Amino acid sequence: MPKRKRNIHLICNAHLDPVWLWEWQEGAAEAISTFRTAAQLCEDDEAFVFNHNEVTLYKWVQEYEPALFARIRKLVERGQWHIMGGWYLQPDCNMPSGESFVRQILLGKSYFKEHFGVECRTAINFDPFGHTRGLVQILAKSGYDSYLFGRPDQNDCPLPSDEFVWVGYDGSQVMATRFKGWYNSPLGKARVKIEQWMRDVPDMSPGLVLWGVGNHGGGASRRDLRDVNKLIAATSDSAILHSTPEAYFKELSRQRSSLPRHEKDLNPWAVGCYTSQVRVKQKQRALENELYSLEKMASAAWANGLMPYPEEEIHEALCDLMTGQFHDILPGSSIQPVEEASLRMLDHGLEIAARAKARAFFALASGQKKPKDGETPILVYNPHPFKVTQLLECEFNLPDFSGPDVFHDVHVYHKGRKLPCQVEQELSNLPVDWRKRVVFAASLEPGVMNRFDCRLELRNAKPKPRLKSRRGMFVFQTKDLEVLINKKTGLVDRYRVRGVDFVGRGAFEPLVIEDDADPWGMTTQSYRTVVGRFRLMDSRAGSRFSGLRDSEIDSVRVVEDGPARTVVEAVFSYGSSFICQQYKLPKTGTEIAVQTRVYWNEKQRMLKLSVPTAARRSKYIGQVAYGVADLPDNGNEAVAQKWVAVVDEEAR
């Protein structure tokens, strides 16, 4: 029996980063140019199929050249233009939250369903720098059965096969393929790439080859399409097809039972991206948090008939968030003008969210009882479906201001019960007793507006801290917690909870690590070479840093101390850089907070915070998209979401 021909699926595409080494206006122009060329080639050659993804680019064409958009819709109906992937764009696939990945898919699928009547079954992320395992259950539960990706390669992420079944945390599965070669081909070299692929993997069946000029767009050229068609006609031992990712995976699915299983993430690659352009990362996470809390508050207010749901505003801000997660924006691998534009865009989303959130807050706060004379109410909404117990911080104004020789203390009550509370330094720098910052311990009921009432007590002065140093140590103790802060180093020498030590001596030390100007870190997996350490400033230097000219203060000192918590501050320096570090120690509970404010002026250097643990047999874990993952504990870089943890398996 003659050997059956293998099918080689050609996926013509034009990988086009909306921004990268260029700004979005150039990306939009290139998208329109690339789509024009692709549409013309499809209209001239009925066998040719062009594949493209990303809502962002289609929206540009829809806005700036609607006639071209109409042509593309007709080509989609004819099956010559394939909507590929179906996401809003190709985001970074490690740093966004699980909810953000869901929104990338929902916004993408709804757009392509509305305008083209299609829904994709194969997700694609050709260019991102790694892929969290949490994606699997998101893909499977969003209607995808397969995933096509490029990075990381075998050197960084060894796989038993480039074709495998990817298994998620919850047991969900999708077929996955790491394509060989790359997603593009040089201009005029498409046939050369395909022929080389056929020589390199003569037995791979079905085959998959991506071609088309990419990175800055381009796609298929008339010359390349002519050369590829000639190769198709001249090849007898394989059937070379103008195809789609879905067609390839449909054929591969016949081998699904024999494919190996992969039950881990697909990492790492370019680990330097996790710390590049940190402001973009901070704004992205802030907008995530604000949007998702806004949705909960607005839903509650709408369900109670208090306000219309701000759907259009949330959608606009969500589009800002989705774009900010693009795989050359969020990782910090774009040029500075892109960084600046991205910060403006994320701020735009934050402003929209802030205004809508304020409207929802005031709606939910309606109907509150009038406060008693001399009382100031504080209203706190808990958007979570569970009770939250924590320290709360809030600022408000007194009815009028007094001179610096008067101090109004604040007592916080909840349903008539006084809570542990204290007044701390407000943000204002006016030397009058007017603006108040109150910190208090409270439990917040879920899904409702929690009310607390503040009452004033007139004093001659703010109470002085009671915690004093002993034998060169600040010793902070409660019935559950003991913390020792070394006055000579400014570091934590003990963090003990109910008799169990959690850290070693010298914890929370800022270390200076050797780095370079490469924002990617493509060829490394760790940054471990310590070239310096921040040291506690002497009292003279620390006082100058703190803004004092004619007096001196200790460089490790108690700055706040009351019924709710104690705050110890230490100031450090290295080279031309400075750090103000605060240790916030609660009077109830065991969770301490370390706030590190950095004034960074070093070149070719990275800052790390050293936390030696007291665990004897531990593992390092962290939150990832809809899951918890084991992270490397050998010093390699890793990315997690909102928390990481060192778990001592012997001390459970």
The per-residue pLDDT for range 350-390, each reduced to its tens digit, is 999 999 999 999 999 999 999 999 999 999 999 999 999 99
Tens digit of each residue's pLDDT (9 = 90 or more) over 150-195 = 999 999 999 999 999 999 999 999 999 999 989 999 999 999 999 9
pLDDT at 1: 46
Q: Where are the beta strands (DSSP E) in 374-448?
A: 375-381, 388-402, 407-414, 417-418, 421-424, 433-444
Rounded mean pLDDT of 574-591? 97
Q: Residues 204, 205, 211, 214: what is their CA dihedral angle, to the nearest 10 degrees?
A: -70
Query: What confidence tier does 3 reach under pLDDT thresholds 50, 70, 90?
Result: low
Exposed / middle / buried, residue 467 (Cβ in 10 Å: 0-12, 13-18, 19+): middle
With a cut of 90, say whether residue 405 has pLDDT above it.
no
* Angstrom distance (rounded) from CA 249 to CA 85: 13
Q: What are phi and psi of 210, to 5 degrees?
A: -95, 135
Helix (H) or strand (E) holding 262: strand 261-262
Tens digit of each residue's pLDDT (9 = 90 or more) over 46-57 = 999 999 999 999
3 state DSSP class of 315: helix
* Angstrom distance (rounded) from CA 482 to CA 317: 44
pLDDT at 145: 98
Amino acid at 179: F
Q: How far is CA 503 from the centre of its chain?
A: 28
3 state DSSP class of 171: coil
Per DSSP, what are the bridge partners of residue 175?
146, 165
pLDDT at 651: 66
Query: What confidence tier does 429 reach under pLDDT thresholds 50, 70, 90?
Result: confident
Listing DSSP states for 82-97 in one string gives EE-S-SSS-B-BSSS-
With a cut of 70, say whether residue 652 has pLDDT above it.
no
Exposed / middle / buried, residue 541 (Cβ in 10 Å: 0-12, 13-18, 19+): middle
**In 3D, which of 198, 184, 185, 182 has the Cα closest to residue 232?**
198
Amino acid at 57: L
Answer yes or no: are the C-beta atoms of 80 and 50 closer than 8 Å.
yes
With a cut of 90, say whether residue 308 has pLDDT above it.
yes
Task: Supply the angle between the helices 55-64 and 66-78 in degrees, to the nearest 10.
Answer: 130
User: Cβ atoms within 10 A of the Cβ of 418, count?
Assistant: 12
* Angstrom distance (rounded) from CA 94 to CA 269: 11
Exposed / middle / buried, residue 317 (Cβ in 10 Å: 0-12, 13-18, 19+): buried
* Angstrom distance (rounded) from CA 335 to CA 128: 17
**In 3D, which of 460, 458, 461 has the Cα closest to residue 374?**
458
* Angstrom distance (rounded) from CA 81 to CA 240: 18
User: Cβ atoms within 10 A of the Cβ of 499, count?
Assistant: 7
pLDDT at 649: 78
pLDDT at 617: 85
pLDDT at 616: 82
Q: How far is CA 347 from the centre of its chain?
A: 15
Taking each continuous run of H as one helix and of E as one strand, the counts in the chain are 12, 33
Q: How far is CA 17 from the centre of its chain?
A: 19
pTM for this one? 0.95
What contacts 644, CB < 8 A, 6 or more positions away?
A: 620, 621, 622, 623, 631
pLDDT at 648: 87
pLDDT at 404: 80
Under DSSP, the state recorded for 269 is S
* Angstrom distance (rounded) from CA 593 to CA 552: 27
Q: Parallel, antiparallel, or unpaired for β 163-167 and 261-262?
A: parallel
pLDDT at 289: 97
Tens digit of each residue's pLDDT (9 = 90 or more) over 230-284 = 999 999 999 999 999 999 999 999 999 999 999 999 999 999 999 999 999 999 9
Rounded mean pLDDT of 467-486? 97
Residues written for the chain: 652
